[in-house]
Each structure stands twice: as C-alpha cells, then as structure tokens.
Amino acid sequence: ETGVTQSPTHLIKTRGQQVTLRCSSQSGHNTVSWYQQALGQGPQFIFQYYREEENGRGNFPPRFSGLQFPNYSSELNVNALELDDSALYLCASSLGTASYNEQFFGPGTRLTVL
Amino acid sequence: GQNIDQPTEMTATEGAIVQINCTYQTSGFNGLFWYQQHAGEAPTFLSYNVLDGLEEKGRFSSFLSRSKGYSYLLLKELQMKDSASYLCAVRGAGTASKLTFGTGTRLQVTL
C-alpha cells in the first residue's frame, strides 16, 4: 500500500509568481484535504476535495485554488504569491468524509516566497 | 468559530509520564484527534476520541470530556524519540471532515 506522496519537496518562488503543488493520495482514498502550516503553528485547513468536487473551504482567499483528478490525486495552486505564503503545505487523504475517517498526511512541500 | 488551546512547550524526563492538555470551543463536535509531528515531518495519527472517556493504545492514552471541552494525551514510559510536537485537532460540524488544529505542544524529553 503506497502512502500519501507530495511533490516537490521544497520550492522557492518570488512574490507575484504562481505555484502548483501536487499530491497523490493513499491507495483507495477518495478524499484529499490541503493544509498550510506556518513555522511554529498548527496546520490550517485550506480546502477539501471529495470525488473531484470541492467539499469545504477554510478562510483562504480565492487565489488559493485546487483540483482533484479522476485517480483522486490533487493539485493546490496559489496565484500572486505573497511573503506570508511561505509555509509547509500538507496534503492529507482519507477514505471518505465521515467524521471518524483518519486523515493520513503526506511529507509536505516547503514553500519559500522571497 | 473554533478555538483550541494547548501549552506551547513541556519538558519531561526519560521514563516518566507526561500529560498534554487541550481545551476547545467549537461550533459542533465530531471528534478529537491527537497527532505527533517530528520537526520537518508530516503529522502522524496517534488517537481519536468521539465519546467521553479514555482510549488506550500502548504507551499512549487519550481522554475526552465533551461537556468540559477538554482532552488530554498521556504518554507513559517516555523515550527520547517521543521528543516532538503534539497536535490536538477537532473535527467540527459540517460536511467537510476538516480538522481544526491547535498550535501544538513541543515536548522535550531529557535524560
């Protein structure tokens, strides 16, 4: 069974640029959630995708957008990067959206915006 | 809205027992999770509580009181490898099974 994978591992961008982060969910998982974790903070929920549809969104501006593909892998896109977007971006997959479903986290993508 | 509080840092000795507390105020409640996160790594699942009481899993136990909005994670027989951040996360009401995390408690285990 393959776990959650994310790419790239690290990324450096400059203000105003756009970035795409990728996530492959654990085998059999149809739900992907994205989180932003700033240094010294807990992860903050960005949004969730279930069967290719957005299924809930946190308090992030529209320049954060996402996509889920038929194989349940997912992308997080961030436009017009700002310095405060520097963080660890975590993807978590689960089997469905029920409250008891455990979310399995990937290793994250560390984004640095200069 | 949702608010989750946990201590920022704790220190304990190898072999000892440590209790990490978490209090929460949420609009709706669908379970509380504890995750362990080593520096630079992804959070890993430790426990899930949705009913009041104690859940025990090896050296780790987690307790929940929904009426008090309170949980704790108990770590027994501490080992050096237990040095990590421990994240308390609550799943609120709504269709999305999103987790709201606290800022985490950084535990340092010393000799």
| Segment A56-75, tens digit of pLDDT | 899 999 999 999 999 999 99
Q: Is A5 near chain B, with CB under 8 Å?
A: no
Query: Which residues of chain B have a pLDDT value below 50?
Result: none
Q: How confident is the model at residue A2 (pLDDT cuts 50, 70, 90)?
A: low
Chain A residue numbers touching B97 (CB-CB < 8 A): 31, 33, 48, 94, 96-99, 101, 103
Say what the pLDDT of residue B26 is: 83
Out of A34-48, A96-110, B6-20, which region has the weakest mean confidence (pLDDT)? A96-110
User: Could you tell me the two tokens for B51?
Assistant: 């009913």
Chain B: give the shortest CA distance to residue A55, in Å: 6
CA–CA gap between residue A42 and residue A34 (Å, rounded): 13
Strand residues in A1-114 grouped as ranges (E)? 5-7, 10-13, 19-24, 31-37, 44-50, 53-57, 64-68, 74-78, 87-94, 104-105, 109-113
CA–CA gap between residue A68 and residue A13 (Å, rounded): 24
Choose among A31, A56, A96: nearest Cβ to B94.
A56
Chain B residue numbers touching A90 (CB-CB < 8 A): 42-43
Cβ–Cβ < 8 Å for A106, A81 = no
pLDDT of residue A100 exceeding 80: no
- For the beta carbon of residue B45, count every other beta carbon within 10 angstroms: 15
Say what the pLDDT of residue B54 is: 96
By C-alpha distance, the chain A residue nearest B29 is A99
